[in-house]
């Protein structure tokens, strides 16, 4: 699917979110990555095989403060 050099990470790799955007609809809250992953504004994902990845934003207790 990906024509980039070097190729984007595949949909089943841990760094799949590093793939390039192909379609971006911020007004609707989603983007389509080059590897076929639908990435949602709430950080949830829908993989090309139909697998759902729950939103994974850091919780308020895990946010690091920069001094």
Is 37's pLDDT higher than 50?
Answer: yes
Does the pLDDT of residue 48 top 60, yes or no?
Answer: yes
In this predicted structure, the answer to whether residue 67 has a pLDDT above a threshold of 70 is no
- Burial of 44 by CB count in 10 Å (0-12 exposed, 13-18 middle, 19+ buried)? middle
| Of 41 and 60, the one with more pLDDT | 41
The CA distance from 46 to 11, in Å, is 10
**pTM to 2 decimal places:** 0.78
Q: How confident is the model at residue 5 (pLDDT cuts 50, 70, 90)?
A: confident
- Give CA torsion, residues 58, 7, 1, 46, to 10 deg: -10
Segment (H or E) for 53: strand 52-53
């Amino acid at each position: 699917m990906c024509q980039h050099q070097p190729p984007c990470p595949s949909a089943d790799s841990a760094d799949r979110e590093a793939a390039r955007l192909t379609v971006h609809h911020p007004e609707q809250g989603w983007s389509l990555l080059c590897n076929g992953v639908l990435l949602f504004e709430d950080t949830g994902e829908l993989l090309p095989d139909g697998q759902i990845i729950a939103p994974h934003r850091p919780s308020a207790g895990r946010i690091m403060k920069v001094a």
